Chains A and B, each alone.
Chain A
């Protein structure tokens, strides 16, 4: 990792507004004095917390200067092998999809709309196959428990740790106007990501959410650059890719959603630019697929390094509420995906990964709601199969946009996807009485087909009920 020398740190400090605010404060503190020594400055800085502010600022600069490497190799070797197998499977799917698309072109009456490379069910089914592997040296650290769908020996937090971490949400009350105004001012003045995270954990006023996100991702003074980059990508969209067709089909579901149909064109534009964006491969926190180049393959992975999947539109949709400017929406979507949502599609032992989140959910439900857990298994509807859609797509389509963006706030607030574990557990607990009466998978499907309204705070509350 790149280390900064003192000169470089000073240069970066000088580019921060906060540095000049601190300097101004110190100058004001010594306005009458003519002779000022280093000890005087130090004492003054300690007395009015300027020293703390400066330390935080320097830590922030050092943290930001470290270029985060994309995680490519997992500590558990068999997951690396599995990633390769998963990618091979996706290449095969791509061939099938391509053939289907050709057939549809030739035959208008063939309206098979399953033109996607993979969906959340495919991913879960693949993760399940880990259990079926023959014992070998590769799987020495694997322990399979028969009652759970997934159980691999990867570092996991305890159920209690996760529940304790988010318990503060239960105590959150509606804030008076004064406090909300104070938070607004904080967002306007704050630059440090640790402080912005604290705000995101507590409460983000709707009118300031976009600003908070832009500041957190350090885009707040870069609008021209974002606009130019987006314009370049838009130009590239004039060269049609096969994946564009898949994105158009994917957009169809969003175009039927009462909350997102108005943004249909914007969502599609963002996604078409996304799959052409070469910077994603270097910015993404984790490699999704291990792109084995097949011989004679007509199609390769897009420049992003991964295939677009079913419902990818859902990740863009809620962000359309935050700005009228498409380049801003795109920048936010790209950042959210590269930092967080990528983990939902990566086969990895990382704590944010889909594997880890699934196992956390199974752990909590099996220990805190064993009756429900067992009943769902008996009727052929495992807990994870029930919840995988909500988990992978962060409840988009299940909750109204304000609640989805509250989820996004919490994701930023903790730099983690763990809030999804809490919400999934809450979701299952909310529908537990009806689920316990279900006799089969069809009954379960009927329960979720009824008009329902799931809310963020409500699901959190249900998560803590037993």
Chain B
């Protein structure tokens, strides 16, 4: 396969993808058919990936093809599935063993999935009358359909009819599920403004789990000063950090796009809060990533043709505790500033340097090589090392026994 020009296909007309492919000397697949198989590298939408892996499609990927999603990625990236899997995983774990490993589950705000858990939600809602909740469609993105809730009656927005607190079930107007979470109303503020973090994680294999974390990312800032004033509860420029929303603010700047580099944020936290606090924050963020991935390890269809680059959205509260907001299967590759373009261009470049080292499909030997750093990516977790260690220990103990 070496020295052979790979053929690429992309469902996205994004310069950071196309420039990467072109710079590698790869050629564009000329087959115009959506379901064509004349490609080696495909940056696909989640829907096309689902079609490709649908047994009815009759499509079978060959050894010279690689695609950017796992077949049932939604187990992690749909908000309702993510919550379901994390709750299930937590129930399954032995608390002591997990805590001994230094991991915890305390990063997901109390969340209910509608319509199924509506009655549970109502119970909790009444228990915490001063609590603000955030309502999100399970499968949408870019902040669409999200609103803050303080009164049950506000659910009329999604029910289509009047909703009262003594109702035991909720019939939604549309067929989509919603997730309702306790709103983190004490976010960490910088310059008085709320922000969240976008961080990138690459999974090249689920069984065994291999996770890479990218060293660049950014904080997405709101344009308005944060307030818990009830009068501003519907002001999305105060509460929702999505760039898709903030770009419509009068105060939006084309120059920085409200994006604050993660390096700057790390430096700020370390300088203003101290090294220990910073280190704990990073450890907690890594815990979120690993725990969430582990929670779907058993359910994700691990296919050798697949890899996936996730966009993790994480919110820090005023105590520097990170909370998981959501995980994106197709994090935006739109670039809003030159710095943003540079970041995403290098990100995609590094992804392909990992999944196709030297522009070639790695054999088993190459896959087992213990490379821990490629470009901006570092290995966060490699389960195969654990397995190897356990095998070595077993061999060792057998030796000793003999």
- Point out residues on A near B: beta carbons under 8 Å: 184, 205-210, 255-259, 261-266, 320-324, 400-402, 405, 451
**Candidate in B225, B261, B267, B278 with the most chain A CB atoms within 10 angstroms:** B267
Task: Take A262-B221, A265-B225 as given contacts and tell me if A256 and B274 are in contact as well, using a CB distance cutoff of 8 Å.
Answer: no
Q: Tell me if A206 and B256 are in contact (CB < 8 A).
A: no
Q: Give A257 to B259 CA distance when docked, in angstroms.
A: 10
What residues on B are CB-neighbors of A400 within 8 Å? 263-264
Q: List 22 A-B contacts (CB under 8 A).
A: A205-B275, A206-B275, A208-B274, A210-B272, A256-B255, A257-B256, A259-B264, A261-B253, A261-B256, A261-B260, A262-B195, A262-B260, A264-B191, A265-B191, A266-B191, A320-B191, A321-B271, A321-B272, A400-B263, A401-B264, A402-B267, A451-B342
In the complex, B131 has a CB within 8 A of chain A: no
What residues on A are CB-neighbors of B274 within 8 Å? 207-208
Question: Closest approach, in angstroms, between the C-beta of A450 and any C-beta of chain B?
Answer: 10
Question: Closest approach, in angstroms, between the C-beta of B72 and any C-beta of chain A?
Answer: 38
Q: Tell me if A262 and B255 are in contact (CB < 8 A).
A: no
Task: Take A261-B260, A262-B193, A451-B338 as given contacts and tell me if A255 and B253 are in contact as well, using a CB distance cutoff of 8 Å.
Answer: yes
Chain A binding surface SS class: helix
In the complex, B94 has a CB within 8 A of chain A: no
Task: Take A257-B256, A262-B221 as given contacts and tell me if A323 and B191 are in contact as well, using a CB distance cutoff of 8 Å.
Answer: no
Q: Give A264 to B339 CA distance when docked, in angstroms.
A: 20
Q: Give A376 to B193 CA distance when docked, in angstroms.
A: 45
What residues on A are CB-neighbors of B259 within 8 Å? 258
Q: Give A159 to B149 CA distance when docked, in angstroms.
A: 67
Q: Tell me if B256 and A258 are in contact (CB < 8 A).
A: yes
Q: Give A207 to B273 CA distance when docked, in angstroms.
A: 7
Q: Tell me if A322 and B191 are in contact (CB < 8 A).
A: no
What residues on A are CB-neighbors of B256 within 8 Å? 256-258, 261
In the complex, B192 has a CB within 8 A of chain A: yes
What residues on B are CB-neighbors of A207 within 8 Å? 270-271, 273-276, 278
- What is the interface size of chain B, counting residues whose CB is below 8 A from a CB of the partner? 30
Question: Closest approach, in angstroms, between the C-beta of B11 and any C-beta of chain A?
Answer: 29
Q: Give A405 to B191 CA distance when docked, in angstroms.
A: 19
What residues on A are CB-neighbors of B192 within 8 Å? 265-266
- Point out residues on B near A: beta carbons under 8 Å: 190-193, 195, 219, 221, 225, 253, 255-256, 259-261, 263-264, 267-268, 270-276, 278, 337-339, 342
What residues on B are CB-neighbors of A258 within 8 Å? 255-256, 259-261, 264, 337, 339
11 further contact pairs, Cβ within 8 A, besides A207-B274, A262-B221, A451-B338: A206-B271, A208-B275, A209-B271, A256-B253, A256-B256, A258-B339, A261-B256, A262-B190, A263-B190, A266-B192, A321-B268
**Candidate in B221, B270, B276 with the most chain A CB atoms within 10 angstroms:** B270
**Candidate in B193, B268, B278 with the most chain A CB atoms within 10 angstroms:** B268
Question: Closest approach, in angstroms, between the C-beta of A289 and any C-beta of chain B?
Answer: 32
Q: Give A150 to B137 CA distance when docked, in angstroms.
A: 67
Shortest 3 CB-CB contacts between residues of A and residues of B: A207-B275, A256-B255, A207-B274
Q: Give A207 to B190 CA distance when docked, in angstroms.
A: 17
What residues on A are CB-neighbors of B267 within 8 Å? 206, 321, 401-402
Q: Tell me if A206 and B270 are in contact (CB < 8 A).
A: yes
Chain B, Cβ-Cβ closest to A323: B272
What residues on B are CB-neighbors of A184 within 8 Å? 275
Chain A, Cβ-Cβ closest to B264: A259
Q: Give A287 to B284 CA distance when docked, in angstroms.
A: 50
What residues on A are CB-neighbors of B270 within 8 Å? 206-207
**Candidate in A207, A208, A402 with the most chain B CB atoms within 10 angstroms:** A207
Q: Tell me if B338 and A210 are in contact (CB < 8 A).
A: no
What residues on A are CB-neighbors of B271 within 8 Å? 206-207, 209-210, 321-322, 405
What residues on A are CB-neighbors of B268 within 8 Å? 321
What residues on A are CB-neighbors of B278 within 8 Å? 207
Question: Closest approach, in angstroms, between the C-beta of A307 and any C-beta of chain B?
Answer: 27
Chain A, Cβ-Cβ closest to B258: A261
Q: Give A401 to B272 CA distance when docked, in angstroms.
A: 13
Q: Give A405 to B270 CA distance when docked, in angstroms.
A: 13
Chain A, Cβ-Cβ closest to B190: A262
Question: Closest approach, in angstroms, between the C-beta of A316 and any C-beta of chain B?
Answer: 12
Q: Give A256 to B259 CA distance when docked, in angstroms.
A: 11
Question: Closest approach, in angstroms, between the C-beta of A36 and any C-beta of chain B?
Answer: 43
Q: Give A433 to B276 CA distance when docked, in angstroms.
A: 43
Question: Closest approach, in angstroms, between the C-beta of A126 and any C-beta of chain B?
Answer: 31
Question: Closest approach, in angstroms, between the C-beta of A280 and any C-beta of chain B?
Answer: 25
What residues on A are CB-neighbors of B273 within 8 Å? 207, 324
